[in-house]
Amino acid sequence: MKTTKTVLITGSSSGYGLETARHFLAQGWNVIATMRTPRADLFPASSHLRVLALDVTRPDSITRALETAGPIDVLVNNAGLGLFGAFEATPMSTVRDIFETNTFGVMAMCQSVIPQFRERGAGTIVNVTSSATLAPFPLVAAYTASKTAIDGFTASLALELREFDVRVKLVEPGYGPTTNFTANGQQRMQGLIPAAYEPFACRVFAGFTPEKPVTRESDVAEAVLRAASDVSDQLHFPAGADALALA
C-alpha cells in the first residue's frame, strides 16, 4: 500500500517556499508549511495541510515545531534572507544576522531531523541555496558566503548520511524578481551602497533587463519536488532558466 509522504517546509509564507508548499499539496503530499507568523489563508483548505509557527533562528521554536509535526519524510530548508550591498559598508551584525538564518538556521534544522531519519533508515533533506553559488555576482558577498557554506555543508553531509540511506540535496534557484525577497530585505539594505559604489551599483542594476531569463516560483517548486523524490546520488538541482544556464 502506498502511504502519503509528509514534507516540512521552512519559510512558506511567500515566494519559492509558498509555491513549493502549494505544489507538494497539489501532488497529494501531507504538507507542514512553516513560517514565523502562521497564515493558513495562503493555502486551499485541505486535510493534508498543517501550518505551524517556526523561526529557524530560535532553538525553542524548532523543537516545538518538530514535536508538533511528528514524523516527517522530507525537510525542505527554504527560509532565507537576502542582502545586496557593498561588503565594506555592511555591518558585521548584519552579516551575522544573514548567517543566523541562511546558514546556522539550516544546520540547526538538519541536526534536529537527522536522528529520526537515521533511526528509520529513510528521509531526505533539501537545502535551498542560490545560483550565486554557481557563479559569482558582485555586491552579494556576505549573502553568497552564507549560501556557499551550505553548499559545502550539504555535499559533505550527503556522503555521511548515505551510510544510513538518508539523502541530502541542493536546490539552487536563480534570480526571482516576483518573490518578496527584495522587499523583505529593504530595511536591512539601507545605506549599503555608499556614494563611491553608486556608479558601479547602477551598472549592475542596469544588467537586470526584462529580456534576461529569470526564475519563477514554479521552477523552484518543481525542482524541490524532483530533489525530494530523487533516489540517485544527484546532489545539485539548479532551478530556473538563469540558474540552468549557469550550471
Ligand X SMILES: NC(=O)c1ccc[n+]([C@@H]2O[C@H](COP(=O)([O-])OP(=O)(O)OC[C@H]3O[C@@H](n4cnc5c(N)ncnc54)[C@H](OP(=O)(O)O)[C@@H]3O)[C@@H](O)[C@H]2O)c1
Does the annotation count 143 as an active-site position? yes
44: its cell numbers: 486551499
- Among 14, 112, 116, 218, the residue binding ligand X under the rule CB under 6 A is 14
Check: CB of residue 101 under 8 Å from CB of residue 57: yes
Q: How far apart are CA 220 and CA 223, in angstroms?
A: 5
Q: How far apart are CA 202 and CA 206, in angstroms?
A: 6
Nearer to ligand X, 112 or 184 (CB): 184
CA–chain centroid gap for 142, Å, is: 16
Nearer to ligand X, 125 or 128 (CB): 128
Smallest gap from Cβ 72 to ligand X, in A, equals 16
Burial string for 196-221 (b: 16+ CB within 10 Å, else e) reads ebeeebeebeeeeeeeeebbbbebbb
Nearer to ligand X, 124 or 144 (CB): 144
Does 84 sit near ligand X (CB under 6 A)? no
State the catalytic residue, choosing from 16, 143, 175, 197: 143
String marking each residue 163-182 x if it binds ligand X according to CB under 6 A = ----------x-xx--xxx-
Torsion angle defined by CA atoms of residues 211, 23, 5 and 13, in that order, rounded to the nearest 10 degrees: 90
Nearer to ligand X, 100 or 230 (CB): 100
- Among 101, 103, 124, 133, the residue binding ligand X under the rule CB under 6 A is 101
Q: Which H or E element spans position 115?
A: helix 106-120
Smallest gap from Cβ 233 to ligand X, in A, equals 23
Q: Is the dihedral of CA 223, 147, 139, 184 positive or negative?
A: positive
> How many other β-carbons are positioned within 10 Å of the β-carbon of residue 235?
16
Smallest gap from Cβ 225 to ligand X, in A, equals 15
Does 222 sit near ligand X (CB under 6 A)? no
38: its cell numbers: 502562521
Does 125 sit near ligand X (CB under 6 A)? no
Q: Which H or E element spans position 97?
A: helix 92-99
- Among 5, 11, 142, 166, the residue binding ligand X under the rule CB under 6 A is 11
Nearer to ligand X, 118 or 226 (CB): 226
Q: Which residues would be at the binding site for ligand X (CB under 6 A)? A: 10-11, 13-17, 35-37, 54-57, 78-82, 101, 105, 128, 130-131, 173, 175-176, 179-181, 184
Mind telling me the catalytic residues? 143
